[in-house]
Chains A and B, each alone.
Chain A
Amino acid sequence: MNPALNVGSAPVATPWFFYGLAAAAVISGLLVITRRNAVHSALALIVTLLSVAGLYLMLYAPFVAGVQIIVYAGGIMVLFLFVIMLVSIERTVKERQFNRIWPIGLLASCALLALFLTAFKKGQSLFPNRVAPLPEALNTQGIAAALYGEAGKMGQYTFAFEIASLLLLVAILGAVIMTKKKI
């Protein structure tokens, strides 16, 4: 590690970064559900995901931000676009919405908002009063230690992590088996 790395200095990220990123995330999130053109929705979703990656960076979680960009914005959204591009846009733009589930969606998002507001108001008592952001230079290594453990002993989350990876493996095998007609 670099000794001259000044971790303790004032952070460059100011509240204005947060307001900008949050506004970008919310506005593009609204665009995702209001645009009739599916490709525009997908592009707005990419902007949302990138803004959320920026918010992760502000929370001193660069690894999660990097993974967010690489997996969601770079991988999954490209596959989304790959499929959506083949949809005939002219027809879908003219077509009226045929399901009537938006009241349920509104209700669900109101419930989520209420939950967030409660958490915000009671935050002090709900969460442990511990703000220990790892210095940027040790963040990824900290994640590695939590997932895989230090030399010789198991990490805090090793078991859960391995179970999750097994689940993903099963999902991959399932996808292969379902798409292949004969194996």
Chain B
Amino acid sequence: MVESLMSYLGSTVPPSNAGNQLWALIYILIIFAGVSVAVMAMNWIERKALAHFQIRLGPMRVGPHGLLQPIADALKLMLKEDIIPDESDKAVFWFAPIIGLLAAFTVYIVIPFGPSQAVSDMNIGILFMLGVSSLGVLGIVTAGWASNSHYPLIGALRSSAQMVSYEVAMGLAVVSAILMTSLNTGTGTLSMIGIVEAQRDQGIWFLFKFFPLGLIAFVIFAIAMVAETNRAPFDLAEAESELTAGFHTEYSGLRWSLFMLAEYAAMIAVSSIAVTLWLGGWMRPFPALLHGPAWEFIFSLFPGLTFAALAGFAFLGTIRMPSHSFFKIQRIGLGAFGLVLAFIALLLFAIAVAGRGDNANLAGRFREGIDYVYWFVLKVAVFMYLFIWYRATWPRYRFDQLMKIGWKVMLPISLGALIATAVVGVLVK
């Protein structure tokens, strides 16, 4: 048992490519738990950030600064009555959220958190991701239809039309990034890990490649991915002012929460595609310019510093808590939370110090892996914050405007960027 556990450590390829099923399973469990926790954290941050954008406080009651609110909400949703409308198509109604959830979580198989920190390095990685995430719309469509009600049906129709339209521009933007992987070697790659490695070998993120071409493709993708995940300002499918709640109007309790989980998981997944294709995936900033043991060590301190900063915020909150006896438990709780964060920070610092210099020993491997995952997650987190920022800033589009932008603006631009990329690529070579 111990041997088979240790057998994988030190491998430089993902477990599925090393033929190690046990570690593939361990990675899947880690990713599943990590994504679920990330969705809960995102839920809290979104409510708090939106509230602060609108000069409100947001959740404050359950736990210090509402930190336990997501857990309370999850409990409430699990205990709530699960209503299935009488006239609905029961089987399809029951299955629709599961389709969405399966599609959202299956794509995590190929997301590369590091050169070996992925479940599998598929040869068709990016194609697999686009294909499976496009299955997510089936969950929405079937949910809207099975509810046998007007608002959900209209929401489902809107969402399917929107997703099919924006998938075209999205796919063309992705193709122009894939074209860039073929520049020096002659053959490109669809593998997610291969795409990041191509950026490493060419010494530049594809965002800045052939400036403005990479940037244009990235912006097209960044807009299309908001539309693909049905988020504001493209959340026509659940426009509450016109359609109550859109496709999930008739859903309640646990099934509704499955839709939410799928939506946030899909948001993280498409952000990961953007990070992998244009922002260098797991690579830290300036790997070529600032290299050498000293810089390596400085950059490996970043994960610890992040947690130390979070712990600092928690301790600051403890100090600023009003000194009324009512806040005593909250103060203790926040202090304990800060202590946990500080402990994690210390652990990360210890690993960074113990594993500095070489990556041959166990601590070195850990340090390396933590670095990769940290930079990847940090980049994805920026996108997740942008999702909230968009929602707080922009008003919702009208449906004809949405279609016009998708077909008449984004599609020609992405097609033009693709052709220009191909031409420039041939000329440069």
Inter-subunit contact A78/B127 (CB<8 Å): no
CA distance A136 to B11 in the complex (A): 20
Inter-subunit contact B19/A82 (CB<8 Å): no
CA distance A75 to B138 in the complex (A): 10
The one of B19, B132, B186, B189 in contact with A69, judged by C-beta atoms closer than 8 angstroms, is B132
Residues of chain A lying within 8 A (CB to CB) of residue B134: 69-70, 74-75, 78
Inter-subunit contact B186/A151 (CB<8 Å): yes
CA distance A137 to B124 in the complex (A): 9
CA distance A6 to B13 in the complex (A): 10
* Nearest CB in chain A: distance from B18 CB, A: 7
Inter-subunit contact A73/B131 (CB<8 Å): yes
Residues of chain A lying within 8 A (CB to CB) of residue B161: 82
Chain A residue nearest to B187 in the complex (CB): A141
Inter-subunit contact A2/B164 (CB<8 Å): no
When A74-B137, A82-B157 are in contact, do A43 and B131 touch as well, CB less than 8 Å?
no
B153 within 8 A of partner (CB): yes
B92 within 8 A of partner (CB): yes
CA distance A141 to B17 in the complex (A): 18
Q: Majority SS of interface residues in chain B?
A: helix
* Nearest CB in chain A: distance from B327 CB, A: 52
Total number of A residues with any Cβ neighbor in B under 8 Å: 35
When A5-B17, A67-B127, A70-B131 are in contact, do A82 and B141 touch as well, CB less than 8 Å?
yes
* Nearest CB in chain B: distance from A145 CB, A: 8
CA distance A2 to B196 in the complex (A): 13
* A to B CB contacts below 8 Å, 25 in the list: A2-B17, A4-B13, A4-B17, A4-B18, A37-B89, A39-B89, A39-B92, A62-B124, A63-B123, A63-B124, A66-B128, A67-B131, A69-B131, A70-B131, A70-B134, A73-B131, A74-B134, A77-B138, A78-B138, A78-B160, A78-B163, A81-B141, A85-B144, A86-B157, A140-B189
B residues at A contact (CB < 8 Å): 11-13, 17-19, 89, 92, 121-124, 127-128, 130-132, 134-135, 137-138, 141-142, 144-145, 153, 156-157, 160-161, 163-164, 167, 186-190
